[in-house]
Structure 1
Amino acid sequence: MQTMYSWFRRHPMVADAAWAALLFLLCALVIAVNWDNGQLAFALMVSTVVLCSMLVIRRSRPDLAVWVGIGTGLVQVACGSRVNVADFALLLLAYTAAAFAHVWTSRAALIAGLAAGPLAWLRFYGAHASPNPPPGRPDNHVWIDVIMSVVFSTPFLLCWVLGRLTRIRRAYYVQLEDRAARLERERDAQAKIAVAAERARIARELHDVVAHNVSVMIVQADGASFVMDSSPEQARQALATIAGTGRQALEEMRRLLGLLRSADSGGEYLPQPGVEQLPDLLDQVRNAGLPVVFEVEGEPRELPRGVELTAYRIVQEALTNARKHGGPRAAARVRIRFDDRGVDVLIEDDGRGATAQLARDGGQDGFGHGLIGMRERVGMVGGTLNVGPGSNGGFRIDARLPLKPTRGKRPEPAPVPPPESAPEPAATPDPALAPHLPRA
């Protein structure tokens, strides 16, 4: 039964033809009874054929079927042909007009349905329908005519309302399908955007980790090879620094690769670095041969994790660039300043290498992906980034990062002031080794 119902749903014209054939058979029985009256039988036959034909095409040509049905009803009233079984098709055409036809056809069908009751009653059954009304008929027949006219129009009105509800429901389903399709497209687009953003974030993390740690390892390796014969102890300490830097890089690489694993695969990874890890980073940079002055201004406060990571990566990338391009005797200064509205991260160097050339070019990103990554990170937290020449002729990076409302105070990071004269590497065993260390 379900298979047959589904088949008729897919072939509506066949279902309409079956109903039209059934109605035609019923009308044929009525015509056979009135066969002696040739004029009446002919009128019934014509109206039956026309109305049953309109039932067949009511879905494919709803406007044509409705207007032909209205015309057939008017002809019946004008010719005085009494209502027959085929006129039940007019009820179905009223439903068709409201459910499938255009707006003006639907309105015309509603008006015709409301007028069908009074016309049929007054034409065939009312007090004026017969010139000789039966004795005892009340003279005040107006209320009877009104009530019976309403009764005769009610089926047409109900069919039209049912068709209207069908149209509304169908439009609602179409709207739901369109909304579901639109939401699916938006979901796919958002998924692609999220994947691209995640890839960009991981790429920035990989660049920062690899560029910094590998450059430190290269500098230490070159210095160790330079003093291998003359100072084996310094060479061993340089190799120890290389090993420690490599372990740190390996730990961060494991954390980044863990981001690529599925959420339910388990496993804990190291937390992302923040401002508290800056002293360790500065010690590592000093060990690589770049003197760094670290200053903290204002009262340290708790930072959002995204701001902390951004500040750490900006300092890391700026010091890496200063070490690679600042020249053999460059020095740097890092200042973290807290206030009520945000935190400023300032990194300056007095180098004269590629970093100075970058400053003269207006801070363009043509030297690599470092400044591009800085701008993206600062933009993600709603901050601003300014790059350009420094006060000492080197390169200057100034980042303004906004803060959320204070939720608590964080212990002030221990500043690591350099010597007052010329900053030297804090953790280098022998200061004489620093000038001989080549730049990465």
Structure 2
Amino acid sequence: MPHFDVTRLRLPRGPRADLALAGVVLVLAGVAEGQRLGPDWDATTSVIGSWLLATAVCAALPMRRRHPVAVGWFTVLGTGVYYLLSTVDGPLVVIPIAALYALAAQGRLQASVAMAAVMVIGVGAGVLAGTGDVNGTAVFMLTGWLVAVVALGAMRHGRVAYAEEEARLRATQERLRIARELHDVIGHNMSMIHVQASAALHRLQKDPGQAQEALAAIKQSSKEGLQELRTTLGVLRQVDEEAPTTPSPGLSRIDDLVASATRAGLDVRIEQSGNHAALPAAVDLAAYRIVQESLTNAVKHSGARHVVIQLHHGDRELTLSVQDDGQGGRSPALARHAVGSGIAGMTERARALGGTLSAEPAHAGGFIVRARLPFFRPPRADRRSR
């Protein structure tokens, strides 16, 4: 005996669902209208008109995706005329109800409410006219059904709109994250290469030995930049994986930044204090990028010679500052240029962690970047046991 797998059953969706619903309602309406035939199966003009109206209303439903409002009004009015001609309470009312739900789910609330009101008014008029087919209870129940259908459709529209907006927001945040990563990676290394290339051109005729050193520095910086770019692109390609196979850069690689800045002519000093426990990955990456962008700005915009990097590792936050002795604090043009997309990216990194960042001229001259990056570190096991 063959095995029947229930899990393989799939309800029709889209246009097929409309066709299936219209077909079922048309069959049931035909069965109901069959009760009006005489013993000799003689069909009166009223029966033929009812069948034709039921067929037209059911045939209109699959076209609602192209002409939703027109189909809605046609099904509502056609169903109203059908119940005026027919003496049986057929199931044709399901078609306009389905059309109303579809309109509300598309956000066309005014049209769906207007059609629901027409249906209630039409049935109420039939009660007042004393047709005997419906009564006040039927009008009350129909009103409740129509209100529920329109409300469900509106809820469906709201959920879909919220999901679409959330997806757009995630896509925008992802684009900003990618742009920020690429800016930090490419901007830093390209700035160093630019400075070193300018120095090599300047020294090429006067001191070929120093020019050779600058060219060697360019080679090393371009190699490191290419490696970091490949690492960043590899991480971006692994967004959908459970965990990226390539670690993100952190403060453990700050010596590489210092070496790159030194080759560009900066004298960089690092001062660290506090608890040197491992930082959360997000905080570690943000701190690395902030230091990287600050050194890039010092090389590109300020003409600095000395830079001091201060890192304080607290129990619940990391504070850092990068101060140079360049012209960025005394030149408004340079200061405005420094506070560009790079500073905005650093600020966004800090805000994403619930922290703060400031970039401004220092009181003693130069430019200073200060950042506070909070984080949560779970208590140690020995502390919990006390």
> Normalised by the size of structure 2, how large is the TM-score?
0.64
Whether the 8 Å CA contact 1:355–1:395 is kept in 2: the answer is yes
- Establish whether residue 288 from structure 1 lines up as the match of residue 330 from structure 2: no
Alpha-carbon spacing, 1:196–1:21, altered in 2? closer, same or farther (3 Å): closer
- State the 1:374 CA deviation: 1.6
- 1:300 aligns to what SS in structure 2? coil
Give the CA RMSD over aligned residues.
3.4
Cα distance between partner residues in 1 of 2:122 and 2:82: 15
Distance 1:202 1:223, change over 3 A: same
- 1:187 deviation in Å? 1.4
Contact 2:321–2:368 (CA under 8 A) maintained in structure 1: yes
Give a deviation string over 1:237-267, Cα, whole Å, max 9, x none. 4333222221222233234444665856999
Matched, 1:242 2:218: yes
Q: Give the whole-Å Cα distance in 2 for the aligned partners of 1:205 and 1:350.
A: 27
Corresponding position of 1:12: 79
* Change over 3 Å in CA distance of 1:326–1:366 after alignment to 2: closer
CA distance in 1, matches of 2:308, 2:157: 55
8 Å contact 1:290–1:332 — kept in the other structure? yes
> What residue in structure 2 maps to residue 139 of structure 1?
none
Identify if the C-alpha distance between structure 1 residues 267 and 311 changes in structure 2 by more than 3 Å, giving closer, same or farther. closer
Match of residue 126, structure 2, among 61, 65, 73: 65
- Paired residue type of 2:189: N
Matched, 1:333 2:305: no
Q: 2:177 & 2:286 partners in 1: Cα distance? A: 11
Deviations 1:130-159 (A, max 9, x none): xxxxxxxxxxxxxxxxxxxxxxxxxxxxxx
User: Separation in 1 of the partners of 2:187 and 2:121?
Assistant: 70
Higher relative contact order (CA 8 A, sep 6+): 1
Q: Separation in 1 of the partners of 2:151 and 2:274?
A: 58
Q: Which amino acid aligns with 2:251?
A: V
Partner of 2:151: 175
Could you say which residue in structure 2 is the equivalent of 1:348? 323
The answer to whether the 8 Å contact 2:319/2:370 transfers is yes
Match of 1:390 in 2: 362
Assess if the C-alpha contact under 8 Å between 1:349 and 1:392 holds in 2. no
Q: Is the 8 A contact 1:212 1:320 kept in 2?
A: yes
8 Å contact kept, 1:365–1:372: no
Shift of 1:321: 1.2
Q: Is the 8 A contact 2:297 2:338 kept in 1?
A: no
Indicate if the aligned counterparts of 1:321 and 1:355 stay in contact, CA closer than 8 A. no
TM-score (norm 1): 0.57
In the TM superposition, what are the counterparts of 1:142-161 in structure 2 within 5 Å? none
Q: Which moved more, 1:399-408 or 1:379-388?
A: 399-408
1:241 to 1:408, Cα distance in 2 relative to 1, 3 A: farther
In the other structure, the counterpart of 1:305 is 281
Alpha-carbon distance in structure 1 between the residues aligned to 2:249 and 2:147: 55
- In 1, Cα distance between the equivalents of 2:183 and 2:281? 19
Query: C-alpha distance in 1, partners of 2:329/2:191?
Result: 16
In structure 2, the residue corresponding to 1:310 is in which secondary structure? helix
Q: Which moved more, 1:377-386 or 1:244-253?
A: 244-253
Structure-2 residue corresponding to 1:49:
none
Distance 1:368 1:63, change over 3 A: same
Task: Name the amino acid aligned to 1:65.
Answer: G
Give the 3 Å change call, closer, same or farther, for CA 336–267 of structure 1 in structure 2: closer
Indicate the residue corresponding to 2:255 in structure 1. Answer: 279
- Partner of residue 43, structure 2: none
The letter of the residue matching 2:140 is A
AA aligned opposite 2:122 = R
State the match for 2:351 in structure 1.
379
Report the CA distance between 1:332 and its aligned residue. Answer: 0.5
**Counterpart AA for 1:343:** L
Cα shift at 1:207: 1.8
Please name the residue that 1:99 is paired with. Answer: 141
Instruction: Report the number of matched residues.
Output: 286
Match of 2:296 in 1: 320
Distance 1:97 1:176, change over 3 A: closer
How far apart are the structure 2 equivalents of 1:243 and 1:266? Answer: 35
How far 1:388 sits from its partner (Å)?
2.4
1:138-183 C-alpha deviation (Å, 9 max, x unpaired): xxxxxxxxxxxxxxxxxxxxxxxxxxxxx44443333222111111
Pair 219,59 (structure 1): closer, same or farther in 2 beyond 3 Å? closer
Change (3 A) 1:173 1:260: farther
Query: Whose Rg is larger?
Result: 1
Change (3 A) 1:265 1:294: closer
Q: In the aligned structure 2, how far is the partner of 1:287 from the partner of 1:408?
A: 42
Give me the identity figure in percent: 32
How far is 1:211 from its partner?
1.8
Q: Structure 1, residues 175-207: CA drift from partner, whole Å, max 9, x if none?
A: 222111111111111122222222222222222
8 Å CA contact 1:302, 1:406 repeated in 2: no
CA distance in 2, matches of 1:400, 1:21: 76
